[in-house]
Structure 1
Amino acid sequence: MAEVKSGERAAAVLSEAAQCELLDLCEDQFAQLEKLQNEVILCEPDFGENPQEQSINRLIATEAELKQWLAVEPKLLAANSEVLLQAGKEEMLKLCSELEMVASCYEAKRDKLRETKELEQKWLEQKNQVLIAASDHAERLRMEKETLSELSVLQDTKAKIQKMKVYQERLMESLGDVLEKHVPLPQNEPSANRKKKNIELEISEDLISLNEILEVLMNKVLNTPHDPYVTIDNTFWPPYVEMLLRYGIAVRHQENNFKIRLETFF
């Protein structure tokens, strides 16, 4: 029927003979349509029948009709070449429009795929750069490891030890300066002053400074960590010892009060 309508639209540009032939063909098609409609009305099933039987009959009729249409050979719309040419033009225009829509869809899909491809390429380039950088770093570490010898390790260790010794000496010098300034070694007062104050105690000249006491305690801990205690003799000024014990810098031996050691600070 679509072909017949297409032929009717094309009749305006056809010759008189072609228009007459096309009109006759349309009348034949409408007559056949009316015949088929009457047959369908006459073949309507009785509503009193079983619904299951109706379904079976419809299925049988549909299969028979399908076989009949498969057996029918297709016929031309019309024998006139002008009608066929015009119908062909209509179909070609319709097909071109559909193909244009399909091409437009595929172009949009192609643009989307191209954009995705560009993003994937950028991501791949970034990953390649990271891989190259990691490979260079690994190669550099491998070469450094191969060129690193026992001599270089020993020299590096000696340099670190020397730095620690210099740092320790600076610390000890700073500690000595602070102690010398704020905790000086006690001095004997003139005899005239002692008589005025009725002081009979005289400071021994063998006393060592607080800095030296701390150095003795630290050396004892480092040299003999299994026996870190130092015996208190007349060179240790009692106020210094008492100050170290009071502020938690040193501790007494549990069994011998004349032995002290440096407090463990770790």
Structure 2
Amino acid sequence: MAEVKSGGQAAAELSEAALSELMDLCEDQFAQLEKLQNEIILCEPDFCENTREQAVNRLMATDAELKQWLTVEPTLLASNSEVLLQTGKEEMLKLCSELEMVLSCQEAKRDKLRETKELEQKWLEEKKQALLAAKDHVERLQMEKGKLSEHSVLQDTKAKIQKTKVYQERLMESLGDLLEKHVPLPQDEYSTNKKKKNITQELDEDLISLNEILELLMNKVLNTPHDPYVTIDNTFWPPYIEMLLRYGIAVRHQENNFKIRLETFC
């Protein structure tokens, strides 16, 4: 539609003489085209069964026509300068439009490449920062490794052992406080409940606390792991022993019921 309007506008801009000459030239070309078409139709051979021979003949004719067109010198369709000027204007406008489209595509491609370049540069900068941080960390580790000596390692080991001992003592103190609060000595329990229960049997004053029993069991395991059993005597309150056995904290000897040991915890 735009080409029709452009052609109509171009024709309106031409003078009557140039328009008449252009119309006559178009009619001559159209008449020559009809003549050539009629000659081609008349010269076409009849349909034959040998399609291969027919294809070879068409190929030879096309080749001959191509050689003939190569020898022909290009000539202007019109000699009128006004027609040539208007045709040149149309070609230039068409070429400018095509060039504008190419320019627009190239600008879009350039913007896309610029965005990709910025992302790649950002990624490269991040990788460089990570590489520098890794190098600094390696150098710092190497320097720390070079500063370490046998004496410093020994001192560090001693400090860790001391911290472990302090932590163990705190755990034992916490365990003693917990047992003293929730599992009191049998003497205290007997003195507070003597009147209510009317107990006439006196408890042995040499009974040891649950905390002491656990400490005996743990020391036995640590000091003599080949013989971890502790012999039960009259200082062990039977309810304590029963509680330890019932909750899986201690186990009896298979052959001697008066010996117990601390359960092996995995």
- Measured in 1, the distance between the counterparts of 2:121 and 2:226 equals 68
Secondary structure at the counterpart of residue 261 of structure 1: strand
Distance 2:199 2:69 in 1: 144
C-alpha separation in 2, matches of 1:95 and 1:248: 97
Would the aligned equivalents of 2:187 and 2:203 in 1 still touch at CA under 8 Å? no
Work out the CA distance in 1 between the residues paired with 2:169 and 2:73. 114
**1:183 maps to which residue?**
184
Aligned residues: 250
3-state SS of paired residue (1:75): coil
RMSD: 3.6
Q: Whole-Å Cα distance in 2 between the matches of residues 247 and 57 of structure 1?
A: 109
Question: C-alpha offsets along residues 156-175 of structure 1, whole Å, 9 cap, x if unaligned?
Answer: 33222222222222222233
In the alignment, does 2:178 pair up with 1:153?
no
Hey, what's the Cα distance between the residues in 2 that align with 1:153 and 1:109? 63
Q: Distance in 1 between matches of 2:23 and 2:244?
A: 130
- 1:93 shift after superposition: 3.1
Change (3 A) 1:242 1:91: closer
Which residue of 1 is the match for residue 49 of structure 2?
A: 50
Structure 1 Cα separation of the partners of residues 13 and 147 of structure 2: 96
Comparing 83-92 with 122-131, which one deviates more in the overlay?
Answer: 83-92
Give yes or no for contact 1:253–1:259 (8 Å, CA) kept in 2: yes
Structure 2 CA distance, aligned partners of 1:31 and 1:104?
Answer: 43
SS in 1 for 2:75: coil
CA separation of 1:256 and 1:89: change in aligned 2, threshold 3 A: same
Amino acid at match of 1:220: K
> How many Å separate the matches in 2 of 1:66 and 1:197?
134
- SS of the aligned residue for 1:186 comes to helix
- My pick for the range that moved more, 146-155 or 209-218, is 146-155
Alpha carbons of structure 1 residues 14 and 142: separation in structure 2 relative to 1, 3 Å: farther
Tell me by how many angstroms 1:120 deviates.
2.5
Query: Structure 2: how far apart are the matches of 1:202 and 1:86?
Result: 132
| SS of residue in 1 equivalent to 2:257 | coil
Q: What's the CA shift for 1:206? A: 4.4
TM-fit CA distance, 1:107? 1.7
TM-score under structure 2 length normalisation: 0.74
Q: Check whether the contact 2:206–2:235 (CA below 8 A) recurs between aligned residues.
A: yes
4+ long deviations beyond 6 Å: 18-21
What residue in structure 2 maps to residue 236 of structure 1?
Answer: 236
The residue that corresponds to 2:98 in the other structure is: 98
Q: Residue 183 and residue 35 in structure 1: after superposition, are their counterparts in 2 closer, same or farther (change >3 A)?
A: same
**In 2: Cα distance, 1:257 partner to 1:58 partner:** 118
Q: Say if 2:229 and 2:259, in contact at 8 Å, map to a contact too.
A: yes
Q: Per-residue deviation at 1:148?
A: 3.1
CA distance in 1, matches of 2:144, 2:230: 49
3-state SS of 2:251 partner: strand
CA spacing shift, 1:262–1:39, aligned 2, 3 Å:
same
Per the alignment, residue 125 of structure 1 pairs with: 125
Structure 2 CA distance for partners of 1:129 and 1:198, relative to 1, 3 Å: closer
Aligned identity (percent) is: 78
1:75–1:253 distance in 2 versus 1, CA, 3 Å: same
For structure 1, list consecutive stretches of 5 or more residues without a partner in the other structure: 1-5
Change in 2 beyond 3 A, CA 1:79/1:261:
same
Find the aligned partners of 1:152 and 1:42 in 2 and give their Cα distance: 112
Query: For residues 235 and 33 of structure 1, what CA distance do their matches in structure 2 show?
Result: 133
Structure-1-length-normalised TM-score = 0.74
What 5-or-longer segments of structure 2 have no aligned partner? 1-6
Opposite residue 120 of structure 1, the aligned amino acid is E
**2:256 matched residue in structure 1:** 256
Matches within 5 A, 1:16-165: 26=26, 28-47=28-47, 49-50=48-49, 52=51, 53-78=53-78, 84-165=84-165
